[in-house]
């Protein structure tokens, strides 16, 4: 029997890669729902190819015209919905078995949490949802007996290196340390005095991965790795001091797990997001992803180095946030989203991003993140603080 899948954020890079993998296995999956923010043209193409039961567009203006566009193309069976509540609706449909949570940013929190509370197989590509809600999200997964499968290449690698029958959120007793790899982004070797004049296009030119602009900037500042650090603490129930970030420019080893007997297990593969997507879709089995086999002779060598907090202060701030706990990871994430948004709009310098985040964090105490409402209030307040700070910068 085919499994039904809902893809939250189908027009982003993860969503597109997920549909590529799903299309290779039409006997195992059927697409129940696709959602997009405002890329109606690509969503239309996806609907015509995959014929979902539901299509969701957050942009209400485009959503009004979308049924007519589908009908003109000969597709009358897809129901069109709009708005944030529609995301939650399609995520918990009874015919949906698995939810690919690939909406970037805080916007993905509520539908991803709804999927967890409904006991779905949650394929987690949205790191901000877990960073913001932390233990509340993991408690929802446990309470509903949902299956949580990480999609970030690093967390998926760690998951694969854990013992058989491992479930996210538990602590593998024999695992003493996680080695979380990072490419180092486009500015690994750029002189520090040149970072002040970095442009958005330069920050988005990742040397290994093809990603959206927001996550590409996060990779350039290494905030992406900071968010992944926070995620790893929650997904694998480990303390921040038990997780070591390792810069590995080739992006061939996606992460490692160090065991108490001295064994270190690593997951390797070409830098292609279809690998972790296929692993999560097929889990606990495996099937073909469309990715070429790894050619170690072409790779030649693998290099590793420790991260420099002077070059990557966002990583230092992420360690501070997870050690403080409570709402502080949500504050960190909110300030970062605002800073990156303003940088991409050309209204903030690259080197000012960590300054905005640090200033915003200093305005908050680590109150307990004891409810979604409290977390969302902290998120909104942090965004206001970040905007106010940016607006008074020279």
The listed CATH number (3.30.830.10, 3.40.50.2000, 3.30.1330.100, 3.40.50.720) that belongs to domain 3-150: 3.40.50.720
The domain locations on the chain are 3-150, 325-394
> How many C-beta atoms surround the C-beta of residue 71 within 10 A?
11
Q: What's the Cα-to-Cα distance from 356 to each of 145, 177, 244, 331, rounded to whole Å?
A: 39, 31, 25, 11
Q: Record the tokens describing residue 193, joined without a space.
A: 């005095």
Q: Report CA torsion sign: 113, 114, 120, 122.
A: negative
> How many C-beta atoms surround the C-beta of residue 61 within 10 A?
11
Sheet containing 175-182: order of strands: 243-247, 175-182, 253-259, 264-268
Q: Which residues in the chain come in under a pLDDT of 70?
A: none
Q: What is the pLDDT of residue 29?
A: 96
Q: What is the pLDDT of residue 209?
A: 72
Q: Do domains 3-150 and 325-394 have the same CATH topology?
A: no
Q: What's the Cα-to-Cα distance from 204 to each of 217, 220, 221, rounded to whole Å?
A: 6, 8, 11
Q: What is the pLDDT of residue 127?
A: 84
Kindly state the greatest CA–CA separation across the chain. 63
Q: What's the Cα-to-Cα distance from 192 to each of 196, 308, 347, rounded to whole Å?
A: 8, 11, 21
Which ranges constitute the DSSP H helices of 325-369?
328-344, 353-362
State phi, psi for 50 to the nearest 5 degrees.
-105, -10
Q: What is the pLDDT of residue 162?
A: 98
Q: What is the pLDDT of residue 48?
A: 97
Q: What is the pLDDT of residue 106?
A: 82
Q: Which fold has domain 325-394?
A: Rna Polymerase Sigma Factor; Chain: A (1.10.1740)
pLDDT digits (tens, 9 = 90+) for 4-62: 999 999 999 999 999 999 999 999 999 999 999 989 999 999 999 999 999 999 988 88
pLDDT digits (tens, 9 = 90+) for 237-286: 999 999 999 999 999 999 999 999 999 999 999 999 999 999 999 999 99
């Amino acid at each position: 029997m085919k499994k039904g899948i809902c893809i939250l954020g189908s027009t982003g890079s993860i969503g597109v890669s997920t549909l590529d993998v799903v299309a290779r296995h039409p006997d195992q999956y059927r697409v129940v729902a696709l959602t997009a923010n405002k890329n109606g043209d690509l969503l239309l193409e996806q609907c015509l190819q995959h014929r979902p039961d539901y299509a969701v567009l957050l942009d209400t203006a485009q959503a009004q015209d979308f049924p007519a566009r589908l009908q003109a193309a000969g597709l009358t069976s897809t129901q069109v919905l709009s708005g944030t509540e529609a995301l939650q609706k399609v995520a918990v449909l009874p015919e949906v078995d698995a939810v690919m949570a690939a909406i970037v940013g805080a916007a993905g929190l509520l539908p991803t949490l709804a999927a967890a509370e409904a006991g779905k197989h949650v394929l987690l590509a949205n790191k901000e949802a877990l960073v913001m809600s932390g233990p509340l999200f993991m408690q929802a997964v446990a309470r509903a007996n949902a299956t949580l499968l990480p999609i970030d290449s690093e967390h998926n690698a760690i998951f694969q290196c854990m013992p058989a029958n491992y479930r996210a959120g538990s602590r593998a007793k024999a695992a003493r340390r996680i080695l979380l790899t990072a490419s180092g982004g486009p500015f690994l070797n750029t002189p520090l005095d040149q970072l002040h004049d970095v442009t958005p296009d330069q920050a988005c030119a990742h040397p290994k991965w093809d990603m959206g602009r927001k996550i590409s900037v996060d990779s350039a500042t290494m905030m992406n790795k900071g968010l992944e650090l926070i995620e790893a603490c929650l997904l694998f129930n480990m303390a921040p001091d038990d997780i070591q970030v390792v810069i590995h420019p080739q992006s061939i080893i996606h992460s490692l797990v160090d065991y108490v007997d001295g064994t270190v297990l690593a997951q390797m593969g070409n830098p292609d997001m279809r690998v972790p997507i296929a692993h999560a879709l097929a889990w606990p089995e495996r099937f073909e992803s469309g990715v070429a086999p790894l050619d170690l002779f072409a790779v030649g060598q693998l290099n590793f180095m420790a991260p420099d907090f002077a070059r990557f202060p966002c990583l230092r701030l992420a360690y501070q946030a997870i050690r403080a706990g409570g709402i502080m990871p949500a504050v960190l994430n909110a300030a970062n989203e605002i800073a990156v948004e303003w940088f991409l709009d050309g209204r903030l310098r690259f080197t000012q991003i960590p300054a905005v985040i640090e200033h915003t964090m200093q305005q908050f105490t680590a109150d307990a993140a004891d409810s979604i409402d409290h977390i969302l209030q902290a998120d909104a307040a942090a965004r206001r603080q970040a905007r106010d700070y940016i607006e008074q910068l020279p």
